[in-house]
Amino acid sequence: MKKDDNVRLKNMRDTAYKVIKFAEGHSREDLNTNQILTSALIREIGVIGEAAARVSTEKRDQLKEIPWKSIIGMRNRLIHDYDEIDLDLLWETITKDIPELIEKLESIPSL
């Protein structure tokens, strides 16, 4: 594994934990009223997607259990379609996809 890949994978993992921590104690409805929370979550999920996009193709091919295309696609939607963010999809990402991603990243021996 390239050193940069390891750094990026760790960044994805650490940022995913940050997303969980930020969302702790909140509900989907809070995204409607708490602009700071929503902005922070969008930013951090975008960071995960950016780090994923920078993982080498070779490493992504080795880690097929990670949904690279979905992660990178989410980042692109959050950044480029910022005015049309689906808060239900964002909450599903936070509560379902991020914990699954953490589990997959934690299973990588070199992290």
Q: Which residue is catalytic, options 26, 60, 77, 80?
A: 80
Return the pLDDT at 3: 66
Q: Is 75 a catalytic residue?
A: yes
- First CA to last CA distance, the chain: 11
Q: Which residue is catalytic, options 13, 28, 60, 75?
A: 75
Angle at 61 between CA 7 and CA 65, to 5 degrees: 85
Give pLDDT tens digits along the chain (111 positions): 456 999 999 999 999 999 999 999 999 999 999 999 999 999 999 999 999 999 999 999 999 999 999 999 999 999 887 788 999 999 999 999 999 999 999 999 888
| Residue 34 in tokens | 């708490």
Return the pLDDT at 97: 98
Cβ contact 74:93 at 8 Å: yes
Return the pLDDT at 44: 98
Return the pLDDT at 2: 57
Return the pLDDT at 110: 81
DSSP 94: I
Cβ contact 17:47 at 8 Å: no
Q: Is 54 a catalytic residue?
A: no
Q: Which pTM was predicted?
A: 0.93
What is the tens place of the pLDDT at every residue in 41-56?
Answer: 999 999 999 999 999 9
Cβ contact 67:45 at 8 Å: no
DSSP 81: T
Question: Phi and psi at residue 77, in whole multiples of 5°?
Answer: -65, -45
Cβ contact 101:71 at 8 Å: yes
